[in-house]
Amino acid sequence: MGRSPRTVFPRTVPLVEAFRAILRAMYPGQPKLADKIPTRSGWELPYPKYDITLPKRVRRLIRRKVKTAKKEMAKFKEARELLAGLVAREKLRLRGVLDPSKPLDDIDPADARVGLVDILAGELRVFLNNKLVRIYRQVHCYETDVNRCVAELRSETKRTKWTNPAGFEKFTAAYKRRLNGKAPPTEAEFTAAANDAGHYRPRKDLRAALAKLGPRRPGPRTKSAAK
């Protein structure tokens, strides 16, 4: 008898990597901000302590650094709250383990809706009547979910800077020609390609344009279509 086929799950990424992707999408003008995420000492960014005995020039420099760090911490907090909301609304599905000796498995959506996400620890903590009852460890997100959320955020961050619809229509037509009959991209891929080409349109326009590329079906997609 032959072996039973192994179940292959879609690719997943750690919580901190999902958070970095979301942060970059929220603040596209500050791509390096995501690289400042601490991984050991909590969420406080390091900066020199203010000392009145230091020279005035040095104190002024420290105040600027502290001000910048506080602004960055506020952005981290906003992104953390967004990620937690995406998990609670099941837009980011989670995999993890209760027993570290076992392989990753899908986390119960009911636990994901009420659990507390710890990004740096890679954990989901579930409470009942203010008492900790379960801890999922090695928590990961499905990469497809992350990509979809990032694509939506990229569009939303440019909401006040919509580009010319005529130019976007030309981009869509050129994209379709480059596909040359091959399978259309996913929504996340098409949004990323449009943004990379300098086109930012409302989500409904992006989806309408994607529909013009033809129905999704099995088959290879050309990598050059996004260029």
Q: Is the pTM of this model over 0.85?
A: no
Residue 21 has what pLDDT?
94
Q: How many residues are recorded in the chain?
A: 227
Please report, for the chain, the start and end positions of each structural domain, with discontinuous segments joined by +. 12-143, 161-226
pLDDT at 171: 92
- Token reading at 183: 């399978």
Residue-by-residue pLDDT tens, the chain, 227 positions? 455 555 566 899 999 999 999 999 888 888 888 888 765 555 665 556 666 777 888 778 878 877 888 888 888 888 898 999 999 989 999 999 999 899 999 999 999 999 999 999 999 999 998 899 999 999 999 999 999 999 888 876 655 567 788 889 999 999 999 988 888 888 778 888 887 888 878 777 888 898 888 875 443 343 444 44
The token pair at 72 is 């960055």
Give the integer Cα–Cα distance in Å for 201 and 209. 10
